[in-house]
Structure 1
Amino acid sequence: MTDHVLIERPEAHPGVQVIRFNRPEKKNAITRDMYAKMTNALTVASTDPAVRATAFLGTDGCFSAGNDMADFLAFAMGGSMGMEVIEFLRALATATKPVVSGVDGLAIGIGTTIHLHCDLTIASERSVFKTPFVDLALVPEAASSLIAPRIMGHQRAFALLAAGEPLTAGEAVDAGLIWKIVDADAVERETLALAGRLAKKPPEALRIARDLVRGDRSEVLARIDEEAKHFAAQLKSAEARTAFEAFMRR
């Protein structure tokens, strides 16, 4: 595996597992190995009674720039989204315990859609959320095409997922994508404190409450698979090839 993702259990916050992006030199762009490590951590969290909440964190000024394009293109040309990605999305969508996230700065692609599966997200004022799927001749993923319209309505969801328009932190709060905004130097502290408070609650009552709020996951899982089929088909298209070539020339 790789240390580009750190899995931590901070002593100051018993019951909390942290999944931390640790690749700041690449703006925390996610590789297949990173996806696999995060999937394993989520799987462990679901079965280990010592873990009661999971927190996603990035680095100073950057949550994640999304997929590592070089790594992504290495298998994308074969017309596959990559099983590591699908397995991560399914593990995230079916997490049995609370998942929170803390965002400071850049949140692109999966760096944005991951928060649709989080129960609470804290962000700094300088955070920016953007999904340039269509700009790369691709389609939304992570069941974002299902969840985002439900949360923020058609217009905002279309602006984010199809038009590729960015959301500021304030706009993300208004849209229901994130919970609240704090100072940049408080993002990690507030996120871990939040996860710690959840970890102290009666676990079975919290599980039931969370399941009632989130509802049946089967529709979400079906949309993840449907999006993946369209994603794979687009990867084989001439317009995607043109878009990728233009991106790599930047």
Structure 2
Amino acid sequence: MSEHIRVSVADGVCTVAMHRPEKKNALTRDMYDGLATAIERSAADPEIRCLLLTGTEEVFCAGNDIADFRAPRPLDDPDTPTPSRRFYFGLANFEKPIVAAVPGLAIGIGCTMLLHADIVYAAPEARFRLPFVDLGLVPELGASMLVPWLVGRHRAAELLLLGDFFDAAAAERMGFVNRILDRAELLPNATATAKALARKPQEALRITKRLLRPEMPPLLARMEEERELIAERLAAPETQAIMANMLKPKR
């Protein structure tokens, strides 16, 4: 398990916290592996009835770590899913309830993973962004399907094409989050909600969650398409130049 992914289990709830505050919880390959492992274990363990995702005290997740994203690594075994793929599809296929507590920044993957949560609470200070186009990339985790499904096509175009920040109040209005809570109350309330879900009749809960979600085969197909396009875009000169510029030392 990654040192930057902290996992605890109590009262039927698996709490998974991204903990790399010095980098605003930006995800590395190792962190994806830790997240994927926690999700897989939670899915398989009948004693775990709800998943709670959170970050550190002031940040949820600022997206992918760009340096780690670009770092050369050995070729992946084509028969073994990468850590990010395990996380993406483990999250999308997770049948138990998912609660998220967002204390601060939620950018890129930090925002798109919330689309797969069932109940999301955010602090007033939370800020959200879908910056894929500005990075020379395309959306991920099914966001190109889920964001229009959530907010409508025109607003989705605004969020995904312009890629501007939006605050917690806007996120609540659009349905990205259920409630805004003071930061001190955020995790206790999210934990209480997760425990309440863990006490519910589990089969009825799973069926109801399935009925609430979009049709899964088209969503999973779109996620695969996005991943293939991201791989192409990462090799594109446009994207390489953007990321190289981001990694230049700041004067």
Matched, 1:9 2:6: no
Which residue number in structure 2 is paired with residue 36 of structure 1? 33
Matched, 1:177 2:183: no
C-alpha offsets along residues 92-126 of structure 1, whole Å, 9 cap, x if unaligned?
00001001100011111000000000001000111
Displacement of 1:215 in angstroms is: 4.1
C-alpha offsets along residues 162-182 of structure 1, whole Å, 9 cap, x if unaligned?
211111101111111111100
Asked if the contact 1:123–1:180 (Cα under 8 Å) also holds between the matched residues in 2, the reply is yes
Runs of 4+ off more than 3 Å: none
Query: Residue type of the partner of 1:170?
Result: A
Return the match for 2:51 from 50, 54, 58.
Answer: 54
- In structure 1, the gaps of 5 or more residues are none
Which residue number in structure 2 is paired with residue 45 of structure 1? 42
Q: What secondary structure is seen at the aligned counterpart in 1 of 2:99?
A: strand
Asked if the contact 1:18–1:56 (Cα under 8 Å) also holds between the matched residues in 2, the reply is yes
Sort the Cα spacing of 1:22 and 1:154 in 2 relative to 1 into closer, same or farther, 3 A: same
Which residue number in structure 2 is paired with residue 142 of structure 1? 141
Counterpart mapping for 1:45-124 below 5 A: 45-75=42-72, 83-124=82-123
Asked if the contact 1:131–1:164 (Cα under 8 Å) also holds between the matched residues in 2, the reply is yes
Query: Residue type of the partner of 2:219?
Result: V
Displacement of 1:75 in angstroms is: 4.2
Whole-angstrom CA distance in 2 between matches of 1:100 and 1:211: 15
Asked if the contact 1:152–1:176 (Cα under 8 Å) also holds between the matched residues in 2, the reply is yes
Query: Residue type of the partner of 2:112?
Result: T
Asked if the contact 1:156–1:175 (Cα under 8 Å) also holds between the matched residues in 2, the reply is no
Matched, 1:151 2:150: yes
Which residue number in structure 2 is paired with residue 133 of structure 1? 132
Answer with 150-159 or 49-58: which moved more: 150-159
Which residue number in structure 2 is paired with residue 25 of structure 1? 22
Q: What CA RMSD, in Å, does the superposition of the two structures yield over aligned residues?
A: 1.7
Which residue number in structure 2 is paired with residue 247 of structure 1? 246
Whole-angstrom CA distance in 1 between matches of 2:244 and 2:158: 25
Whole-angstrom CA distance in 2 between matches of 1:155 and 1:238: 29
Whole-angstrom CA distance in 1 between matches of 2:93 and 2:33: 16
Q: TM-score, normalised by structure 2?
A: 0.93
Q: What secondary structure is seen at the aligned counterpart in 1 of 2:34?
A: helix
Whole-angstrom CA distance in 1 between matches of 2:214 and 2:242: 37
C-alpha offsets along residues 22-65 of structure 1, whole Å, 9 cap, x if unaligned?
11111111111111111111111111110000000111110011
Query: Residue type of the partner of 2:172?
Result: V
Whole-angstrom CA distance in 1 between matches of 2:147 and 2:86: 21
Equivalenced residue count is 245
